[in-house]
Amino acid sequence: YVDNNGNRMPGNVFSVGSGSIYAYGVLDSGYRSDMSDTEAQELGRRAIYHATHRDAYSGGVVRVYHIKEDGWTKITEEDNKDLHYKYAEEKTKRSQ
């Protein structure tokens, strides 16, 4: 993790900001060291969704980027409302 002051901290999972406590709940329960890129991106998406859904100051758009040594790629940009209905539908299907 590198913060806006250039401080670097080692680790595998980070969340910052007022909604980070909600994101950490998702990250702590879903992170595995052997995740595929797609799995990691979905975990990040869900973590950001939960932070934005529960914290009024976290915004309403979930942006997922894949950052590598040679640059970054934008994966998705979705409205939190759309993800809310998508995840609610998935939860309903699982419970049936």
**pTM confidence score:** 0.84
Is pLDDT at 95 greater than 90 in this prediction? no
pLDDT digits (tens, 9 = 90+) for 72-83: 999 999 999 999
Domain at 19-95: CATH architecture: 4-Layer Sandwich (3.60)
pLDDT digits (tens, 9 = 90+) for 37-65: 999 999 999 999 999 988 888 888 999 99
For the chain, the domains span 19-95
Cβ 72 vs Cβ 90: under 8 Å: no
* C-alpha span between 67 and 21 (Å, rounded): 23
* C-alpha span between 70 and 31 (Å, rounded): 24
